[in-house]
Amino acid sequence: MTTQVQRPQGPREQLLADLPITERRLQFAGVSTAVLEGGDGPPIVLLHGPGESALWWLRVLPDLVTTNRVIIPDLPGHGDSEGSNRTLTAEGVFGWLDELIEQTCSTPPTLVGHLLGGAIAARFASDHGDRLQRLVLVDSLGLGRFRPSARFAFGLIRFLVRPTERAYHGFFGQCMSDRDAVIEQMGED
């Protein structure tokens, strides 16, 4: 079942307004999922990281849609996607991804994952490599030992316990080498 997402113009809609994509709500493995789609060509599925949404890919989306059919879901429980009615297991997430690929890709896609999305993509590829054309991992979790610095860990815990704007900016500063340049480049976005 497909329905168009109709809502008042909020920040998400404003960010998407001038992009050559559509947003739909689809059901995969019992999860109502917000999916951004656009472009023509070989399919590419982009999976974001924890606490993010499909909007994380906005910086690369305009270039990708010129040569590819791009499918960007909000992971279950993230962005505008709903959580599952039951506890979402690893197998449930892989079933969700399998249905997403089945329903949105006419040929095996390139699967790209960032952080948690990369961990999901890598494990999916290990079990379903025949369903994919390529696998691209971006700063993916679970591929080696994760030993964050004390400052990173403290910033993450502080943000999770009390998600204020100050805590967000403190944690965000630990996640990239040149936070100010990224903020300047993103402008009002």
Q: How confident is the model at residue 40 (pLDDT cuts 50, 70, 90)?
A: very high
If you average pLDDT over residues 76-92, what whole number do you get? Answer: 81
CB 132 within 8 A of CB 109: yes
Q: How many domains does the chain have?
A: 2
Same domain, 124 and 185: no
Same domain, 71 and 109: yes
Same domain, 160 and 137: no
- Alpha-carbon gap, residue 45 to 110, rounded angstroms: 6
- Alpha-carbon gap, residue 144 to 185, rounded angstroms: 31
3-class SS letters over the chain: CCEECCCCCCHHHHHHCCCCCEEEEEEECCEEEEEEEECCCCEEEEECCCCCCHHHHCCCHHHHCCCCEEEEECCCCCCCCCCCCCCCCHHHHHHHHHHHHHHHCCCCCEEEEECHHHHHHHHHHHHHHHHCCEEEEECCCCCCCCCCCHHHHHHHHHHHHCCCHHHHHHHHHHHCCCHHHHHHHHCCC
Same domain, 51 and 41: yes
Same domain, 103 and 117: yes
CATH of the domain at 115: 3.40.50.1820
Same domain, 140 and 151: no
Query: What pLDDT does residue 182 have?
Result: 67
Output the pTM of the full model: 0.72
Same domain, 33 and 7: yes
- What single-letter amino acid sits at 162? R
Judge whether residue 81 has pLDDT over 60. Answer: yes
Judge whether residue 145 has pLDDT over 80. Answer: no
For the segment 119-132, what is each residue's pLDDT rounded down to a tens digit? 999 999 999 999 99
Q: Partners of 172 in the beta sheet? A: none
- Alpha-carbon gap, residue 134 to 36, rounded angstroms: 20
- In 3D space, the residue among 52, 73, 38 whose CA is nearest the CA of residue 168 turns out to be 52
- Alpha-carbon gap, residue 63 to 39, rounded angstroms: 10
For the segment 4-32, what is each residue's pLDDT rounded down to a tens digit? 655 557 888 888 888 889 999 999 998 99
Same domain, 181 and 106: no
Q: How confident is the model at residue 150 (pLDDT cuts 50, 70, 90)?
A: confident
Same domain, 96 and 159: no
- Write out the residue range of the structural domain in which residue 105 sits: 3-145
Query: What pLDDT does residue 184 have?
Result: 77
Same domain, 172 and 100: no
What own/partner pairs with CB < 8 Å and gap ≥ 24 does 2-6 have?
Answer: 2/26, 5/34, 5/80
